[in-house]
Each structure stands twice: as structure tokens, then as C-alpha cells.
């Protein structure tokens, strides 16, 4: 039987190694393209895309596969097949009493959890083998991928609505694409980058870029004890004190809802959330990231002043292109800072 899995030790291990794979969730094509061009990323052709191999449970191009119930990797109790043992030796990866598979065809158990498997797959990635990343058939999601410095970068946006042809903004699309992308890519870190409305009462101005400290919903009103807290869904983001200090970014709280405008009830909730900026995706991304235990940071650039004089929709469209450029610059600075660092160093 495999040794018991210690989540605390696993988390410490994850935080003590340099970030390798970054998943950027972004809602609109206008926001995504400056970053795609900055990092010279390539668009994947269809729903099956190739990226540097780093996770177990996916197919590898070639004659053999690894996945649940195949090649000795079984659900409930991770096992390593002899073929993988040979590969670990070939790649110079460490062999321990828990990871060594016998050469005579017997299969030895390895600890539950992804630590060994990730080390193995990182090594395999260096050989040029590719992981096939598969999204559900028929979805309009778009993935841009490539390498920048020592990072594997994936930008995912939900694509266009197939009926109306507009960007698939909002919490439903962002939650779905975040979940599927985490499952397919197993990122070390998520960045939810995008535009947002800002509040002049909290000091926000057009073009300001905020690193978010907390996220919450403002339109999930459930006036029942405890359910009301669930509706708000308050969550802390990944702590990044060094990014804040060294990049001199502004910090603020984010409130999320599925409407671009703001009704009276939404306004009351946003004030209760003490939000500086509001968007239509952040809290949904945070919910999924928290559910799947992936650290997430949120970078939001202000396109419109919610409590200002101009209509929100008019001001948003007027400033979108220019603010997307400011967002690109800020996200690029954050990614440059992350390169070579562990989560705990951010």
C-alpha cells in the first residue's frame, strides 16, 4: 500500500520549486492579443494541442501512453511501470525505495500524489516528447502557447459565442475554461488578467493597473444565514508581497458580477465588499482555482469609472484598446518577475 499522502508536505514542495507553467485566463480577444504578441505565442489549431510534457494522466505522442489504469498508473494507488523506471534512469532522475520499479516486470507502488510523476514528466519534456492537451469537443475556446525565458506560458480565452459572435464574457465561461485548462495543463500558477471598472471613491483612475488582494461576488444574493456568506464567496488571492513591493503596483479588492452595469443592489454589495475594481470573471476563476488548489493572482486594468459621469458601456469601449496595452505591460512585468522564482518568493 502506498504511503499516506501529506497535503502539507506536497504544498511545501510545490512552493519551494520554481514556477514552470503559467496559465493566463483572459476574457476578451482584445485583451489577449497584446500578450500573445509580446510573448510570441502560437495559436493551437484545434481542440487537441501540444505543449511541453509535465503532467501524468495525459497522452504522449508516440506508441505508448500513460493515464489512469494504463501502464501501471492506477487510480487510488499510484504505481510506476518498469518502462517508466527505465526512463527515470535514462533521464537521471532520482530513484528511491518508493519509486523504483523492478526490471523483471513487477510493479512497485509509489507515493500518492504528483511529485514523482511531475519530476518524471519534466524530464520527459526535455527529450522533446509532447503532451496532447485535449479540451471538450466543440468548444470555441482558444489557446495560445509557447515558452518565454524558463516558463511555459498558456493564454486561454473562451472564444466567441457561436450564435452571436461576441466574446464569451462572464462567470460561466470563465469558470468552465479555468476548470478544463487546469485539468489539461496542470499549471503551477494562474494569472487572471483583464480589464475592470474602477471606483473613483476608492482612488481608481482610467489606466490604473491593480494587483488584487481579495475577490468576492456582488450579485449572488442569498438572504439566508451562512448561505449569504457562500453567495459572497470571499477569497484571498495568492499572497505576492514581493511583486507588490518591487513592481510598485497598486493593490485593491475585486468584486465580480455578470452585468457590465451596476444596479442599486449590486452597488450596496460592492461597497460591502470594499471593492476598488469590479469585473465579470475574477471571483469565478478564484473559486475554481481554490477548488483545485492552484495559486492564482489577478491583474486588472481600469477601463471605466463606475461611479463617474460617463455611461459605463461608452467609457469601456472608448478606453478598451489603450487600457489593454497597459494591461499587457503590467502582466509582462509580473511574468518577468516570476521567472526563476518559487511561489513562496513572490
Active site amino acids: 31, 304
At 37, which helix (H) or strand (E)? helix 29-38
CA 163/CA 153 separation, integer angstroms: 30
Q: Under a CB-based contact definition with an 8 Å cutoff, are residues 289 and 295 in contact?
A: yes
Q: Which residue has the cell 508516440?
A: 62
CA 265/CA 15 separation, integer angstroms: 40
Q: Which residue has the cell 532520482?
A: 94
Helix, coil or strand: residue 203: coil
Grid cell for residue 9: 508536505
Q: What is the Rg, in whole angstroms, of the alpha carbon atoms belonging to the chain?
A: 22
Sign of CA dihedral 338, 283, 200, 196: positive
- Using a 10 angstrom Cβ sphere, with 0-12 exposed, 13-18 middle and 19 or more buried, the burial of residue 240 is buried
- Using a 10 angstrom Cβ sphere, with 0-12 exposed, 13-18 middle and 19 or more buried, the burial of residue 84 is buried
101-131 residues labelled b (16+ CB within 10 A) or e (exposed): beeeeebbbbbbbbbbbbbbbbbbbeeebbb
CA 2/CA 11 separation, integer angstroms: 19
Residues 6 or more apart in contact with residue 244 via CB below 8 angstroms: 211, 251
Amino acid at each position: 500500500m502506498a504511503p499516506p499522502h501529506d497535503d502539507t508536505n506536497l504544498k511545501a514542495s510545490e512552493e519551494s520549486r520554481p514556477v514552470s507553467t503559467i496559465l493566463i485566463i483572459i476574457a476578451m480577444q482584445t485583451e489577449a492579443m497584446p500578450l500573445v504578441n509580446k510573448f510570441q505565442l502560437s495559436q493551437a489549431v484545434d481542440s487537441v494541442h501540444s505543449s511541453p510534457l509535465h503532467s501524468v494522466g495525459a497522452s504522449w505522442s508516440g506508441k505508448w501512453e500513460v493515464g489512469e489504469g494504463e501502464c501501471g498508473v492506477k487510480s487510488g494507488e499510484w504505481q510506476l511501470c518498469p518502462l517508466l523506471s527505465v526512463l527515470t534512469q535514462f533521464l537521471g532522475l532520482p530513484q528511491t525505495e518508493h519509486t523504483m520499479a523492478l526490471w523483471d516486470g513487477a510493479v512497485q507502488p509509489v507515493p500518492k500524489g504528483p511529485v514523482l510523476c511531475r519530476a518524471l514528466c519534466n524530464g520527459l519534456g526535455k527529450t522533446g516528447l509532447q503532451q496532447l492537451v485535449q479540451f471538450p469537443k466543440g468548444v470555441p475556446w482558444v489557446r495560445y502557447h509557447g515558452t518565454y525565458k524558463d516558463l511555459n506560458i498558456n493564454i486561454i480565452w473562451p472564444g466567441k459565442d457561436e450564435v452571436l459572435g461576441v466574446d464569451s464574457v462572464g462567470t460561466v465561461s470563465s469558470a468552465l475554461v479555468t476548470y478544463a485548462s487546469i485539468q489539461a495543463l496542470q499549471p503551477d500558477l494562474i494569472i487572471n488578467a483583464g480589464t475592470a471598472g474602477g471606483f473613483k471613491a476608492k482612488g481608481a483612475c482610467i489606466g490604473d493597473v491593480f494587483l488584487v488582494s481579495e475577490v468576492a461576488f456582488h450579485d449572488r444574493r442569498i438572504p439566508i444565514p451562512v448561505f449569504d456568506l457562500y453567495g459572497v464567496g470571499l477569497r484571498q488571492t495568492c499572497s505576492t508581497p514581493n511583486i507588490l513591493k518591487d513592481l510598485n503596483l497598486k493593490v485593491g479588492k475585486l468584486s465580480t458580477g455578470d452585468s457590465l452595469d451596476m444596479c442599486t443592489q449590486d452597488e450596496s454589495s460592492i461597497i460591502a465588499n470594499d471593492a476598488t475594481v469590479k469585473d465579470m470573471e475574477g471571483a469565478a476563476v478564484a473559486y475554481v482555482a481554490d477548488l483545485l488548489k492552484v495559486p492564482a493572482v489577478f491583474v486588472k486594468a481600469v477601463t471605466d469609472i463606475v461611479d463617474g459621469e460617463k455611461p459605463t458601456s461608452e467609457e469601456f469601449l472608448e478606453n478598451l484598446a489603450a487600457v489593454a496595452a497597459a494591461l499587457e505591460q503590467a502582466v509582462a512585468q509580473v511574468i518577468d518577475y516570476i521567472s526563476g522564482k518559487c511561489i513562496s518568493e513572490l
